[in-house]
Structure 1
């Protein structure tokens, strides 16, 4: 495994990040344990979760699964760079969500208890909180870092100007600021190229793309349907919307002799600022297959053909002006 720095930080992470959103709702606890153990065997040290994962309000189901896995010992916690997130509803009262100093303190302590650890490597804002000033956000994060409860701070779903405002506010406080941005980015969804990726490059944030396979559309959906696999109503609607692109994409992958899912991930790893796409395997087989991604190098001609199928953006303002 060739590890990479997360943005401008000295933190070394694997170029694939193990997403845990399926742990609990889709993948049993025993299978989740097996996937995490195998991830370590494969060299993946970067895991991502969130306090809302498990989708039972206030229960933190997925964080509990991680905590019970860490509690088995064997260096599991020490080998893992764990990133979790806060923002979403964890209760029915007004201060059970958002990025207020109150919720940051409570949410962090709750995540630490659930994951049975005394620190979080990367504590991420799951969404921008338009009702909380960055001065309050950073003061609360500074206190957590002084207490040794967190090491780095990350964002998720921030706009480019949010990143700029966050970093400038942190700089005025002589604080390191954001280390990473977790953004919706894939071949089909490339709006991040307008301002988010340029902001991350300029401020030295590592980009962690979520939904790298566009909800499965880039994972060989046509091949799977041809083999009799079923698809959700939402998937069918999205496929109908993008069918011409997906047909051309899977044809290109056939020419390359590669699985569409792995080509989509390899494309992300070829993009400036991207550190590690989030993979969300539900089974061991999916995890092990994904490792093929790290063996794929897309040449300039292939990258150009992908841009023809899925047109991207130039950085603003050149994308829409001169």
Structure 2
């Protein structure tokens, strides 16, 4: 499998170009099937896994799971296969339960524990124990904590890098302006800036006028294209299978007429290349979407088309419950998009 390099200032970490998100493994996928998926990804050359401390907490009542079950499953597999030293693990904190007796929720009151330094350190210690590791490759603040200043969160995570517990610090589900403030603060103080930014993205752009704190939008693309030490990691790139099942409704906040046109174009490219729509989405992310801002640096003397393409470093995080689903995602690594294909997909 091809590799990419995550960066945080002058720090670098080599990872697989396709990250395996294992949110469901050990939660609603049993151990045997989970091991089969992990084995296949590893066999294909995959060495980059994504999990979180709270995976399992959402299904405590319905499935009898616990927060951390995904990490426990991965830790068990790493130990059983003896490959802990060969892989990069990304995990997350901050979206566990603030109050044990209340459920987690996507909308307020969320009951998220937040990103206080004490919480971050406590959760990292728990994750390392469950994973059987001494440090993690990427450690994300799972959901931005707006009770805290962005600079305070930045200091907490850069300190973990200084202590050797984390290789690359990251944020997820965070507004572009908050990430920018945090990164500038770390650079100015000599700390490790956030180098991994995990947001939802697929082939669609959000409906105009909607808040996009958790999503990749054109502003996020423009910012990331100007940051050579920042990689965007995209979750839900296949929109839970909707891309290959056009009879399914487009999910909010992408439910607007422009999305249907983009889906049509993706299927046209897929038909031309003998691929699936999901593979086209992944191939576009792997190629790196281009910023389409009208007046980037240099546009005062040159036409936009004459300026170098400003592409985003992007790694899709793919999930799978079955080997067939994983095989489809792995197949995206063999899809090559032409410049014409990229131009269609880059269009807003």
What is the TM-score with the length of structure 2 in the denominator? 0.77
Describe how 1:24-63 pairs up with structure 2 within 5 A: 24-54=26-56, 55-56=58-59, 59-63=67-71
Deviation at 1:123, TM superposition (A): 0.6
Shift in Å at residue 41 of structure 1?
A: 1.3
Say if 1:185 and 1:209, in contact at 8 Å, map to a contact too. yes
Contact kept in structure 2, 1:17 and 1:276, CA below 8 Å? yes
Indicate which of 53, 72, 75 corresponds to 1:64. 72
Structure 1 residue aligned with 2:296: none
Pair 1:99–1:262, CA change in 2 (3 A)? same
Alignment equivalent of 1:86, drawn from 93, 107, 111: 93
Structure 1 distance, partners of 2:123, 2:55, is: 13
Q: 2:163 matched to 1:150? A: no
Root-mean-square deviation (CA), in Å?
A: 2.8
In 1, Cα distance between equivalents of 2:69 and 2:33: 15
Residue in structure 1 matched with residue 182 of structure 2 by the alignment: 166
Contact 2:230 2:313 in 1 (8 A): no
SS at match of 1:151: strand
> Counterpart of 1:4?
4
Aligned pairs for 1:8-23 within 5 A: 9-23=11-25
After superposing the two structures, state which structure 1 stretch, 159-168 or 142-151, moved more. 142-151
TM-score for both structures, normalised by structure 1: 0.83
Q: 2:202–2:237: 8 Å Cα contact kept in structure 1?
A: yes
Q: Which is worse superposed, 141-150 or 58-67?
A: 141-150
Matching of residues 296-311 of structure 1 within 5 Å:
296-307=335-346, 311=347
**Over residues 183-205 of structure 1, what are the superposed CA-to-partner deviations in whole Å (9 max), with x where a residue is unaligned?**
11221136634322332233321
Q: Among 268, 283, 287, which residue is 1:270 paired with?
A: 287
Instruction: For residue 255 of structure 1, give the secondary structure of its aligned residue in structure 2.
Output: helix
Counterpart position of 2:219: 195
The 3-state SS of whatever aligns with 1:52 is: coil
Structure 2 SS opposite 1:106: helix
Structure 1 partner of 2:63: none
Unaligned stretches of 5+ in structure 1? Answer: 226-230, 313-322
Shift of residue 237, structure 1, vs aligned partner: 12
Give yes or no for contact 2:53–2:92 (8 Å, CA) kept in 1: yes
Aligned length: 299
SS at match of 1:207: strand
Correspondences of 1:103-182 after superposition (within 5 Å) = 103-182=119-198
Query: Per the alignment, in what secondary structure is the counterpart of residue 89 of structure 2?
Result: strand
Unpaired runs of 5+ in structure 2?
61-65, 103-110, 207-214, 289-310
SS at structure 1 position matched to 2:270:
helix
Runs of 4+ aligned residues of structure 1 deviating over 3 Å after TM superposition are: 93-96, 233-249, 304-307
Out of 88, 104, 117, the position equivalent to 1:101 is: 117
CA drift at 1:208: 0.6
Q: Which residue of 2 aligns with 1:259?
A: 276
CA contact (8 A) 2:67 2:96 kept: no
Distance 1:255 1:63, change over 3 A: same
Q: 1:151 to 1:244 in 2, by over 3 A?
A: closer
What are the Cα deviations for residues 82-127 of structure 1, in whole angstroms up to 9, with x where unaligned? 0001111335169971000111111111111111212111110112
Structural mapping, 1:215-254, within 5 Å: 215-218=240-243, 220-222=244-246, 243=260, 245-254=262-271
Residues 53 and 96 of structure 2 are in contact (CA less than 8 Å); yes or no, is this contact kept in structure 1? no
Q: Is the 8 A contact 2:140 2:170 kept in 1?
A: yes
2:238 is matched with 213
Aligned-partner SS, 1:38:
helix
